[in-house]
Structure 1
Amino acid sequence: MSTGVRRRMGVEERRQQLIGVALDLFSRRSPDEVSIDEIAAAAGISRPLVYHYFPGKMSLYEAALQRASEELKARFTEPHEGPLGVRLLHVMGRFFEHVDEHGPGFSALMRGGPAVGSTTTNALIDSVRQAAYDQMLAHLGLADAPPRLELVIRSWISLAESTALIWLDGRRIPRAELELQLVHDFAALVAVSAAQDEGMADVLRAMLKDEPADGPFAELVGRLSALGS
């Protein structure tokens, strides 16, 4: 992501360029392995000029994580139209597309990378998880969640995150299979909770109400039925 030539930029334009360059490098290699010299060379500027805009690599790293978190949050946005299972499959497709394209950057964001334990990094991670949670509530048509549903949604978000991190270590399972599996996982978590709580049973009924015969949720029911036959 190199400019190739040096040219004058405004302060904010240069800052955004450096963030973009750093994010591109961090997306392909661990942030620990990327030096300020590499960032400067890729941006077509001198090392001292990088420090003019950012006090050090950590501040640039945190700015890159901020942009990465915003891009990741956008992956959870989906029109609230059509069967829920299909919507979630679209969301998982975009989520894993981001994970696939920005593996080291995604790992750095979720694991903290060089900034592990920092207030800034923790806040960014929490903001991504909260955005995913809010989107799930919206897809379910709810403004707030009772305790059992909150537990299910947050557990599922954690499962999607950990699944993606494990998958990055070798990509040994086809991506499309994991995307579908996570949609099935959400339905399964709701179903287990529905067996113990009538309110959750209502949530499950609403989820399945408009599910087409070839939808992800219907496919799960068919597969489970086949196992018992």
Structure 2
Amino acid sequence: RDSITDIFYEKHLGELIDVIILSCPSDEADQSTSNLARNAGKVESQNSAKPEILSSICELLCFCVLHHPYRIKCNFILNNVIEKVLLLTRRREKYLVVAAVRFVRTILTSHDEHLINHIVKNNLLKPVIGAFVANGNRYNVLNSAILELFEYIRKENMKLLVKYIVDSFWNQLVKFENLASIHSLKIKYEQVFLLPTNFTTKIFRYRTSVHVTCLFAVLGELWN
């Protein structure tokens, strides 16, 4: 079984990712994405896969994440697999966009620090946020999947991701603050990153005022 798994990761995983790349619309403004498409090479662009095939590839990748966490970590980071799978957010089929979001959600279940850092460093949630904003106020499966992703990040106390999302995308998300998941995410951000700073500042001011009061009391006694 190990040898079959090795063959899959060494020879065939990359081919599946190439199928995704060449089945998604390219963004001419995104040079890195254009490079991904040019480098795929093994599959002709005219052989774009059927949506059902792309969905199955996502399911298989989720299986790999859950059952081979150590293998996928290095592979996904070195080969930018997460970025490539998220190209599916450009597809018009909403269920493929949802499949890409659930792929990210599955990755986060590992709580792997290296993968989380990779997501933040490379701004990989940008297409997810873009899909959410483009979906607007429509309540559908895509809306639910992304809100559930936010909820998971908040409940699992993934501080780095909370900070990344609010710092990078709050200007886009603020118009959805009436949604409980968005509002709760912002509150989490404030509790973790703003309240401790404010509390420390208040303590410092309190201590300073106490010291000044004591100093004046001592000087008063000496003067008398």
Query: TM-score scaled by structure 1?
Result: 0.38
Structure with the larger RCO, 1 or 2 (CA within 8 Å, 6+ apart): 1
Q: Indicate the structure with greater helix content.
A: 2
Which is higher, the Rg of structure 1 or of structure 2?
A: 2
